[in-house]
Amino acid sequence: MIRAEPSQCSDVQAPHPALCKDVRQVGGERSGGAMRAVTVLGLEGSANKVGAGLVRDGRVLSNPRRTFVPAPGHGFLPGQTARHHRGCVLDLVRQALREAQLQPAQLDCVAYTKGPGMGAPLVTVAVVARTLAQLWNKPLVGVNHCVGHIEMGRLVTGAHNPTVLYVSGGNTQISNDPSPGYNIEQMAKKGQKLVELPYTVKGMDVSFSGILSHIEEAAHKMLASGECTAEDLCFSLQETVFAMLVEITERAMAHCGSREALIVGGVGCNVRLQEMMGIMCAERGARLFATDERFCVDNGAMIAQAGWEMLRSGQQTPLEESWVTQRYRTDEVEVTWRD
């Protein structure tokens, strides 16, 4: 079993007890008067991560994944990323089954990421999901990637009805060894001077347009003159962007009367973002929920968990509708599994 650990931010709530217990008999099928556990295999491959996860009634049984890492200074292109995923995905399925000590016959469903994401990687994983579902004679469920993040966050943290801040990285051409966000976060920890950067919030909308170009224009001049350091620029970038995100989250909580906030998505691993959100929530008398990189970063278990929720509410994806889409808005999903 994989279990999330509490964040380094003291205001972030600990993992939900369900992850520490045996199988929860929630939404299972009855067999001879007893509830039978439902097990779902989830396949994720919308960007540079490919993963296979197994979830059984609120318990993560296995969750291996691999990351496509191109040469430093290059972004991950769809074709190259898809080739990486094709070379990994079947091994990951075998590994997930082996770690969970399960056979395909013991599965109840195969779930896959339907979108949003990069076209070629999405297609690669969808083809594998369709093939396995037919080979094993299991129902198929296409999952919205963003909903997968949210459902995994709710499962791991135990958040009841939170305002969700979903922050994702996406493609980049910044040096990616080991990853751009991680590099910026580590450099920002050494920064001491806050450099003024464009800050644009309009109601619930934010605009990051101009921030990077401003830094690019100012960096050479400011660094050459000794006005600031590269660490200061990373610190300023992080503080400015996160302040914008915290502001709109607080506004959403105020409008909805929410007392819970949940951070999901790869950027949700950032300790400084969790810290800033924790301060805001504490001032509002609210609770912040977040998790670590095992569940923030794209993974198969989050697709399995969302697929489990969809399956138990009667949703399945017919083979002829098991296509993928690069644009799949979260508000297009019909949530039939929650009141």
Cα 242 from Cα 263, distance rounded (Å): 12
What is the homologous superfamily of the domain 17-158+296-332 according to CATH? ATPase, nucleotide binding domain (3.30.420.40)
pLDDT at position 29: 52
3-state DSSP call for residue 48?
coil
**Maximum C-alpha span of the chain:** 77
Q: What are phi and psi of 167, to 5 degrees?
A: -125, 120
Under DSSP, the state recorded for 12 is: B
Under DSSP, the state recorded for 160 is: S
CB-CB contact of 243 with 276 (8 Å):
yes
3-state DSSP call for residue 162?
coil
Tokens of 77: 């292109």
pLDDT at position 216: 83
In the chain, which stretches have pLDDT less than 70?
Answer: 1-35, 170-174, 176-178
- pTM (two decimals): 0.86
Cα 315 from Cα 119, distance rounded (Å): 24
Please write down the HEC assignment for all residues of 194-214: CCCCCCEEECCEEECCCHHHH
Other beta carbons within 10 Å of 319: 9
- Which CATH architecture best describes the domain 163-294? 2-Layer Sandwich (3.30)
Hunting for tokens 């003159």 — which residue is that? 225
CB-CB contact of 288 with 13 (8 Å):
yes
CA angle 107/68/151 to nearest 5° reads: 45
pLDDT tens column, 283-326 = 999 999 998 888 999 999 999 999 999 999 999 999 999 999 99
Contacts of 120 (CB under 8 A, 6+ apart): 78, 79, 81, 82
pLDDT at position 176: 60
What are the residue ranges spanned by the domains of the chain? Answer: 17-158+296-332, 163-294
pLDDT tens column, 194-214 = 999 999 999 999 998 888 888
Given this chain, do its domains 17-158+296-332 and 163-294 carry the same CATH topology?
Answer: yes
Strand intervals (E) in the chain: 29-31, 34-36, 39-44, 49-56, 59-62, 65-67, 109-115, 140-144, 163-166, 200-202, 205-207, 260-264, 287-289
